[in-house]
Chains A and B, each alone.
Chain A
């Protein structure tokens, strides 16, 4: 199998919702649909008014945010599961299950977007490791076994 599928649990995850004019939004920054590594935390602006903080530094980063105004945070560590699909055929594997364009022009390293994988609403982040193509998938935990089995089935031909 040319792509590896890894269920990354437990991984600390936090969601921050913040209006554009808040200090929290200014501190997290990024343009909608992009992601950036800050230390051991992956910061993802997954929606115009929502950020994901993924990794061991998520909790300290949340505690350091000024949440005045229309801003709030929720720990989604156990609500959302994370799966990483890595390898030379990672994009082909996901393209069998998802309508997104996985080409470099549309979804380069650092791209983040919401979509569906095999009918499951899912957030995707292109997060290459050591030059190898890699995607981080986040979805509701109740779908974990279904998504994992479907991904393994899709990857079997490569």
Chain B
């Protein structure tokens, strides 16, 4: 079982959350090129190591947040709510 530390709810079973995938900045659709937009939509880095991901606490606080996950070990760290700083929330104690 993967325990995901939600910034609001604390450690939760991953089954209680929804995985949104790799977190990346959205380019401005008005100014970016078709290649940049395609890269944003379809291409993923898929690194072997730390990856910043987006999760949604669907059964708990119903908030989106980002977290770093090591894709080899499954270790999780630094959960952050949008607009807040690391370490300011409940789940960051892990």
Which residues of A are in contact with B by a Cβ distance under 8 Å? 32-33, 47-48, 50, 99, 113-116, 121-122
A54 CA to B82 CA, complexed, in Å? 30
Smallest beta-carbon distance B55→chain A, Å:
15
Please give me the residue from chain A that is nearest to B57 by CB atom. A114
Is A48 touching B59 in the complex (CB atoms < 8 A)?
A: no
Closest 8 CB pairs of A and B: A114-B60, A99-B13, A116-B59, A47-B61, A114-B59, A121-B59, A115-B59, A48-B8
Give the number of residue pairs across the A-B interface with Cβ within 8 Å: 33
What 0/1 pattern do residues 61 to 89 of B give for CB contact below 8 A with A? 11100000000000000000000000000
How many residues of B are in contact with the other chain, CB < 8 A? 13
Contacts of B13 in A (CB 8 A): 99
Smallest beta-carbon distance A46→chain B, Å:
9
Apart from A48-B8, A115-B16, what are 17 other A-B pairs with CB-CB below 8 Å? Answer: A32-B61, A47-B60, A47-B62, A48-B61, A48-B63, A99-B13, A99-B15, A99-B16, A113-B60, A114-B9, A114-B57, A114-B61, A114-B62, A115-B60, A116-B16, A121-B59, A122-B59
B58 close to chain A: CB less than 8 A: yes
Please give me the residue from chain A that is nearest to B60 by CB atom. A114
A114 CA to B63 CA, complexed, in Å? 12
11 contacts between A and B (CB under 8 A): A32-B8, A32-B61, A47-B61, A50-B62, A99-B12, A113-B9, A114-B59, A114-B61, A114-B62, A115-B16, A116-B15
